[in-house]
Amino acid sequence: MTSELCIFTLGHGARRVLVTDRLIEAPNWTPDGAALLVNGDGRLWRVPLADPALTAVDTGHLSRLNNDHGIAPDGSRIMVSDKTDTGESCIYVLPAGGGTPRRVTEAVPSYWHGWSPDGRTIAYVGRRDGRYDIFTRDLPDGAERRLTSGFEHCDGPDYSADGAWIWFNGQRDGRMQIWRIPAGGGTPERMTDDDRVNWFPHPSPDGRHVLYVSYAPGVRDHPRDHEVELRLLPASGGAPRRLLAIFGGQGSINVPCWSPDGGSFAFVRYARDDGTF
């Protein structure tokens, strides 16, 4: 599968960073703005923006990474989700430059999705009692806390820039919409209300916007290789606007992908059968 790693700058549009025949997914932006981090072939790769190329990150014995990974706000650590040891996704932390991973979550499956702005807490998705809900955990060894209940399925938790909210996608009555919930727990608030299938909200670092991927009505789950839209929602609520239509979905923006200044975001799109993006 041909993958195109891109940057979209608000007010200017999209530009290509890297095209590869490797399947790559889920770009993060490093806090210094110098590189992007992606996953592919069960590994983690760094892409320096000054000289774009896939450079392997040492993840120790972990070799079955999925696309739920991210860099600490201070740039010192990386969280990854991997099933090498357990057969199901488990969260680990390792030095930002690569090295020996340390297991963070006991229960599986667990999929990392967000760092609190102070770097002390992570938000993630876990399947417990047959249902996927949103959880948080203080580092290094805090207990797991469940934030959501009453949903058919939840995914994609990511912190607002001030740390007050966790945004996520949640399904009720068969409708997957964008929600937010106080980071310490409380009553969730629905932030989109339409007939589309909305996933993976990412608040911008400047506190102004929330980016998410939107599927056509009737799509189940969050598959790849679909015609989708990248949409922007005011962080205070309101009508979303379509930024870009792409061929993608799963892998395009699964994890936090904004530039440090909040003016751009990274995404991945994939080649259609006719070779177009």
Which residue, chain included where needed, has tokens 């699964």? Answer: 254
DSSP bridge partners of 151: none
DSSP string, 165-180: EEEEEEEETTEEEEEE
Question: Which segments of 24-70 does DSSP mark as H helices, in order?
Answer: none
For residue 172, being part of any structural domain is answered with: yes
The reported pLDDT for the residue numbered 1 is 82
| Cα gap 257→260, rounded to integer Å | 9
For residue 111, being part of any structural domain is answered with: yes
For residue 276, being part of any structural domain is answered with: no
How many domains does the chain fold into? 1
- The CATH number of residue 98's host domain is 2.120.10.30
Q: Torsion over CA of 203, 28, 12 and 54, rounded to 10 degrees?
A: -170
Beta strands in 120-204 (DSSP E): 121-128, 131-138, 145-146, 153-159, 165-172, 175-182, 189-190, 197-203
CB 191 within 8 A of CB 165: no
CB 68 within 8 A of CB 55: no
Residue 143 in tokens? 């207990």
| Cα gap 119→96, rounded to integer Å | 13
Residue 88 buriedness (CB in 10 A; 0-12 / 13-18 / 19+): middle
| Cis peptide bond upstream of 157, omega within 30 | no
DSSP bridge partners of 155: 169
The dihedral built from the CA positions of residue 203, 206, 209 and 212, taken in this order, carries a sign that is: negative
- Predicted TM-score (pTM) above 0.85: yes
The dihedral built from the CA positions of residue 69, 90, 219 and 248, taken in this order, carries a sign that is: positive
What three-state secondary structure class fits 82? strand
For residue 275, being part of any structural domain is answered with: no
For residue 277, being part of any structural domain is answered with: no
The reported pLDDT for the residue numbered 160 is 98
Instruction: Give the residues of the chain that fall short of pLDDT 70.
Output: none
The reported pLDDT for the residue numbered 103 is 98
For residue 109, being part of any structural domain is answered with: yes
The reported pLDDT for the residue numbered 215 is 98
Residue 216 DSSP symbol: P
Quote the domain boundaries for residue 76.
Answer: 3-270
Cα distance from N-terminal residue to C-terminal residue, the chain: 12
For residue 16, being part of any structural domain is answered with: yes
Instruction: Give residues with Cβ within 8 angstroms of 12, minimum separation 6.
Output: none
Residue 223 buriedness (CB in 10 A; 0-12 / 13-18 / 19+): exposed
